[in-house]
Homo-oligomer: A and B are copies of this chain.
């Protein structure tokens, strides 16, 4: 069993190094994979679709982005005809975001190509390993959500 502190530190260093390496390549890789729908827009659109309508503020909170960033991203998506903004009848400050038909389609095709890229890349992994990796990533990201990481000290 890995019980020595040294092994623990070694694992931490590997995790740090490999996550850094991944982060560095991720954007370039995503850009090459989908020149049509940039990484960030894709992510936001996916979230909007997932929630079947949400507010810009939700997106900003979830992705730890400034509201101005989200505003511009949404503007771009709207200009591309991929999302629609509907004012909330109960609260006129709020814009409820929905994917358009084109947005849903763009998302589906992007997800399909991403999916197949991941499938290919992880083709020789066992189902157990995939499940384990997925669980670790979930745990890792969840830790980030709750901890001190925030761009503008918004957390109350």
Interface residues of A, Cβ cutoff 8 Å to B: 1-3, 7-8, 10-30, 32, 39-40, 43, 63-65, 114-115, 118-122, 125, 127-134, 136-141, 143-144, 147-149, 151, 155-156
Contact = CB atoms under 8 A, between A and B. Distances in A.
A114 B137 CA distance: 18
B130 A11 contact: yes
A28 B151 contact: yes
Contact of A115 (B13, B64, B131): B13
A133 B25 CA distance: 19
B32 A20 contact: no
A24 B22 CA distance: 11
Contact of A22 (B3, B32, B137, B151): B137
A118 to B, nearest CB: 5
Contacts of A114: 16
Contact of A132 (B8, B39, B132, B149): B132
Nearest to A154: B21
A100 B47 CA distance: 45
